[in-house]
Amino acid sequence: MDGISLILPGGGARGFSIAGSIKCLYERDIWFSSVSGSSIGAIIGAAICEGKTPDEIKEKILSFKFIRTLRPSFRGSGVLSSCTLRAFIDAMVDSETFEQLKIPLGVVATNMTSGQTEIFAKGDLKPALLASCTLVGFFESMVWNGTIYGDGGYSCPIPFGLFPERNIELVIDSSVRPDWNLGIDRGFRLWGHLPFKTISKYLLKSYDITYYHYGRCQIAARKCIVIEPRLGDMRAFDISKREFAIEAGRRAAERKVAEVLARVI
C-alpha cells in the first residue's frame, strides 16, 4: 500500500466543503500521496499540493471577493468573463507549474471538440486549472494551445485512476441530490426573466442531474472511501454559504475518520 490518493470532484461553491474535510483529516495525521482534481476540486487540490494549510485555504476562500471580480463577456461564448475564475485561481494557488508542487497532482478537463477527458499532470498549472473549471455557457470559452476546454465534470465527474490504483482512494464528494426545487415561472416578471437568471437555473439543474448520476456510477465501480458533506439543496453558485459548506465538510470527515484509519493501518 503506497498511501492515500485523494480524489476531489467539482461542485462549484459546494466544493468549499473540501477545506473543512481536509482540516479534520490532517488533525488525525491522515496525509495524501497524490491528489486528483476536477473543477473547484482541482483548484483546492493544487493549494493542498503546494503545502497550504487547511486554515490558509479556508481564509482565502472566505476573503475572496467573488462579486467584485464578475465581468460580462463580450466574446459571445459565455455570459461571464473568465476573470473571476482566473482571479480565484491566483488567490488560491501560487505555483505556476505542476513541478513546483510538493504532492503529485492530476487535473482533468474536457476537450470540447473531441468530448474526451484530458489529463494534465506536468507543465503549466494555472491554465490547466482554468480549463478544468470553465462551465461552458456561463463563462467564456477557455482556449489553450488551439483547443477549447470545458469543465472536467462534463466527461469525468469523479477523476479516478490518475495515480496507482493500489493506493486507497478517498473521495470528498460535494454533489447533492438533484431534487432541489427548480420552480415554475408563471406570468411575466422582469427580474425573473432576465436571461442569465432564468437560463442559469435550468443549466445548473441539468448539470447537477448528469453529474450526480454519472458520479454515483463511478463510485459504485470502485472500492473507495467516500466523504459526503450534507449540503442540503445548496446550489453550485451559492457563495453566501461558504462557511456552511466548510463546516459540513468537517463534520462529514469526522464521520469517516475511523474507516480511513482502519484502511490505512
pLDDT by 10s per residue, the chain, length 265: 468 999 999 999 999 999 999 999 999 999 999 999 999 999 999 999 999 999 999 999 999 999 888 888 777 778 888 999 999 999 999 999 999 999 999 999 999 999 999 999 999 999 999 999 999 888 998 999 999 999 999 999 999 999 987 789 999 999 888 887 776 555 545 444 455 566 778 888 888 999 999 999 999 999 999 999 999 989 998 999 999 999 999 999 999 999 999 988 6
Q: Residue 45 to residues 19, 102, 200: CA-CA distances in angstroms?
A: 10, 12, 27
Q: Is 8 in contact with 215 (CB distance < 8 Å)?
A: no
- The pTM for the full model equals 0.92
Nearest to 224 by CA among 259, 175, 177, 254: 259
Question: What is the C-alpha to C-alpha distance for residues 265 and 260, in angstroms, rounded to an integer?
Answer: 9
Strands (E), 220-265: 225-227
Note the pLDDT of residue 15: 96
- Report residue 124 as a C-alpha cell: 503549466
- In degrees rounded to 5, what are phi and psi of residue 81? -70, 155
3-class SS of residue 145: coil
Note the pLDDT of residue 264: 81
Q: How many helices (H) and strands (E) does the chain have?
A: 8, 10
Q: Is 9 in contact with 159 (CB distance < 8 Å)?
A: yes
Residue type (1 letter), 10: G
Note the pLDDT of residue 186: 53
Tell how strand 34-38 and strand 105-111 pair up: parallel
Question: What is the C-alpha to C-alpha distance for residues 54 and 59, in angstroms, rounded to an integer?
Answer: 9
Note the pLDDT of residue 190: 46
Nearest to 225 by CA among 172, 157, 161: 172
Contacts of 92 by beta carbon, 8 Å cutoff, 6+ apart: 43, 44, 46, 47, 57, 60, 61, 64
